[in-house]
């Protein structure tokens, strides 16, 4: 699937050891890319709270998930990690 957009918004989010909303729901979302910018594995969930060792896994040091290429998701995205205080780089269009 080709995703076409003219601009997007970069941001970052800090992930806690409890489920944390890192991207709000957006009905018009065309694309989002979440990149693990930390030294710890992060787990994602779409539309429901994130749970350790379940859902979409972002490996440490650059693991990523794209929403809008093979996975269309307009719901809120939640993340969790073991120790908390870890960052995700976000790009959304």
Which residue ranges make up each domain of the chain?
A: 14-92
pLDDT confidence tier of residue 1, bands split at 50, 70 and 90: low
pLDDT at 36 over 80: yes
| Structural contact between residues 90 and 34, judged by C-beta atoms closer than 8 angstroms | yes
What is residue 80's predicted lDDT score, i.e. its pLDDT? 98
Instruction: Over range 32-58, report the average pLDDT.
Output: 97
pLDDT at 37 over 90: yes
Strand boundaries in 1-93, DSSP class E: 9-15, 20-23, 32-36, 42-46, 56-58, 64-67, 77-81, 86-92
Provide the CATH topology of domain 14-92: Jelly Rolls (2.60.120)
Its pTM stands at: 0.91
């Amino acid at each position: 699937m080709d995703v076409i957009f003219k601009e997007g918004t970069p941001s970052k989010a800090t992930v806690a050891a409890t489920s944390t909303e890192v991207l709000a729901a957006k009905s018009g979302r065309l694309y989002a890319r979440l990149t693990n910018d930390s030294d710890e594995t992060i787990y994602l969930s779409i539309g429901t709270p994130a749970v350790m060792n379940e859902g979409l896994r972002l490996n440490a040091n650059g693991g990523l998930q794209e929403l809008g290429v093979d996975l269309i998701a307009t719901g809120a995205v939640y993340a969790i990690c073991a120790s908390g205080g870890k960052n995700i780089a976000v790009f959304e269009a």
